[in-house]
Amino acid sequence: MDIKSIAAKYESYVIEMRRHFHAHPEVSLHEVETGKRIREELTKMGVEWRDCGTGNGVLATIRGAKPGKTILLRGDMDGLAVNEETGAEYASQNPGVMHACGHDCHTAMMLTAAQILKDMKDELCGTVVLAYQPAEEVAVGAKDMIADGALDGVDGCFGIHVWADVESGKVSLEAGPRMAAADQFMIRVKGKGSHGAAPHQGLDAAVAVAAMVANLQTIVSREIDPAQPAVVTVGRLEAGTRWNVVAEYGSVEGTARCFNADVQEHLKSSIERIMKATAESYRVQAEMEWITLVPPTINDAHMSDLAAGAARKVMGEDAPVLSEKTSGGEDFAYFMEKVPGAIALLGIRNEACGATWPQHSGHFCVDESALLKGAMLYAQMAADFNAE
């Protein structure tokens, strides 16, 4: 199967689709028009599909003419609440919403992969399931698709994320931890209000939350093995209502990141322990809400090797490169907890076209010449999964 020859006729299609989705971004759980367009495109191709996950997700199926295993390919579709600053002719038409993480690229590459796989299904072994996933940015889309049966009968999975830190034409496919577990915590503190001139009559929530922020910094520096990367970040704190009133209420909100399930549990228990001890020392009450967003994204060694081989076939022998893991989270990890999988970081960085901005920036843009390569990588991985 010469995937490069088949893919050549879809070079303009992948860019057209990417620009359409880029111009019409929708935030997580509201990808109504995005899902509608995906269904329309699949129907035109003659590819069977069904709704799957949150009401906006789409699960397509392409069955090869020959028997074999089933692989799931995944591409997410949600945008971000970011104001676009690129000035592109296909810039977002939805004020305050932008595809600033590249999910428009993923959707376009997956539709193009569907075109390629459909064209080669007479030679294809096994079954390919294509998961057009909503709500990745809020870490519920993958879980909803799994609950809706997306992984029923699936033997392995593969995803691609375009990546601003990797040069265009290259791809990172290392085995092991690639993205971090991500958790969110909210600490609420209740003290006792009093006049600012008589602080001895109150219990100061502002002082307590300030101490908590300082004390939480010791977890990573003094409790976690330095060989295990971890992050505890307080992104928001609040206390008080007026300049001359001792604060009765306060709150601390933050995130914990790591690449190991044991460390993830240690971070949670340590944050809770420090919260309680600090609250007791300042004579206030405190409670914590903990939300596990995603587990660590860990590439299966065999699936990574298989994907690297696929990348060499369609992108060139020197395409696979090494790239550092990132403390950003990815809910594709939920698929990979259930079946062996790998995620590829596809390079879209190219100074010549201004594609140098980081993900989640209002200036984020991509080298569109990388998109057909991503579509071919999806298709080649699907073919090679059954060619062993």
Residue 159 tokens read as 């995803």
So where are the chain's domains? 3-178+296-385, 181-294
Identify the band that residue 366 occupies on the pLDDT scale cut at 50, 70 and 90.
very high
Architecture of domain 181-294: 2-Layer Sandwich (3.30)
Architecture of domain 3-178+296-385: 3-Layer(aba) Sandwich (3.40)
pLDDT tens figures, 308-332: 999 999 999 999 999 999 999 999 9
DSSP calls for 135-195: -TTTT-HHHHHHHTTTTTT--EEEEEEEEEEEETT-EE--SEEEE-EEEEEEEEEE-B-EE
Does residue 335 contact residue 151 with C-beta atoms inside 8 Å?
yes
Residue 48, pLDDT above cutoff 80: yes
pLDDT above 70 coverage of the chain, percent: 99
Residue 1, pLDDT above cutoff 90: no
Q: Any idea which of 270-274, 301-305, 373-377, 384-388 has the lowest mean pLDDT? A: 384-388
pLDDT tens figures, 241-267: 999 999 999 999 999 999 999 999 999
Check residue 388 and give its pLDDT: 64
Q: What is the mean pLDDT of residues 15-22?
A: 98
Stated pTM of the model: 0.94
Q: CA 252, CA 302: separation in Å to the nearest integer?
A: 42
Q: What is the mean pLDDT of residues 110-126?
A: 97
Residue whose pair of structure tokens reads 């509201």 in the numeric block: 30
Q: What is the mean pLDDT of residues 142-161?
A: 98
Check residue 387 and give its pLDDT: 82
